[in-house]
Amino acid sequence: MKIFTLLLFCAASTISFSQYSLSSAVGPCPGNLNIDPTYPNGGGMIAGWDSLIGPSLTTPTWSAAQTIPFAFNFDGAAVTSFKVSSTGVLTFDVGSSMAAPSVTAEVLPSANIPDKSVCVWGLETSGSNDMAHMRTWGAAPNRQHWIHYSSCANGTIAWSYLSIVLEETTNNIYVVDQRNTTGVGALTIGVQVNGTTATMVPGSPAVGAQAGTDPTSADDYTYTFKRSLAELESNEAVANLDVFPNPSAGTINVNLTLDNAQEVTYSLIDAKGNVVIKSVSDKMNSGNNTIKLDGDHLSNGVYMLNVVSAQGVSTKQVQILK
């Protein structure tokens, strides 16, 4: 059995009970990883992006299923692939037989989009420059996968550029409003977990443009969707992941079972979804392994231990009570 010691310094915070919390901010793109300016394909877009869907689609259409290039959790469960509609809906339910949603966006939750979906719903890809592309930025364990809608009409806005971003380790979802001409928008921006649970931007289905015509990220506007600690306990990708004692007055033991020897990464996430320590990667043995967490310096509160291995992503709630 290998023993690892991880010293954790962070501040506790209270538990949120929403599925996804929503925040927003103006300024450079999240993490400053995507450094490309925002231009249409064939009109200044930098090479390196892969086409997903479009152009010139007058009938709502789904793309082919695409593989997420890193481990990712949606609503506490591992997802490995996605597809996007020409109207601005990304779904992790790639097996859904539901028709691609119309260009007319609706309030969430909606019966007209699949469960496990992320929306910039209301885009049109009917023009010759209107497309969706994808690209991965950064290095493990902090990569981002960008799904970028380019030059699409949006309400009376002749062209809009928006991206859906999936972030490794944090499992955060971002919607980035990048560039728009003038007009009145008609979007629903949000996350739909299922037919009864969703988080959406106020004003949906008539969310207007936030970013202006600047092709740089200086005036980008980012909506951030983070999981809350109320939903921590995911389907365990790592077998027999156990934390004890829990609550703990200090030392915490984490047991996990691996199918084979592999690199395993750990990170600690606070109640707001922020990574409060840098990820630590260790080579661990097949079978049983133990991580010893020294929590003597932690304040009372609830934290999330995120465990990423070749088997997937697992999370456990860790409580300090002194």
The 3-state DSSP class for residue 287 equals strand
pTM of the entire predicted model? 0.69
87, with CB counted inside 10 A (0-12, 13-18, 19+), is buried
* pLDDT attached to residue 259: 84
Taking a C-beta distance cutoff of 8 angstroms, is the pair 318, 10 a contact? no
- pLDDT tens, per residue, the chain with 322 residues: 333 333 333 322 222 333 788 888 888 889 999 999 999 988 889 999 999 999 999 999 999 999 999 999 999 889 999 999 999 999 999 999 999 999 999 999 999 999 999 999 999 999 999 999 999 999 999 999 999 999 999 999 999 999 999 999 999 999 999 999 999 999 999 999 999 889 888 889 999 999 999 999 999 999 999 885 544 444 445 657 788 888 888 787 888 888 888 888 877 665 555 566 666 678 888 899 888 877 777 777 777 777 777 766 677 777 778 8
State whether CATH 2.60.40.1930 applies to domain 3-15+230-320: yes
Structure tokens at 192: 């739909």
Structure tokens at 140: 């493990």
Strands 77-84 and 66-74: antiparallel
Q: Say how many Å lie between the first and final Cα of the chain, rounded.
A: 29
Provide φ and ψ at 167, rounded to 5°.
Answer: -115, 130
54, with CB counted inside 10 A (0-12, 13-18, 19+), is buried
* pLDDT attached to residue 85: 98
Q: Which residues belong to CATH 2.60.40.1930 in the chain?
A: 3-15+230-320
140, with CB counted inside 10 A (0-12, 13-18, 19+), is middle
pLDDT tens for 273-296 read: 556 666 667 888 889 988 887 777
* pLDDT attached to residue 273: 55
* pLDDT attached to residue 178: 97
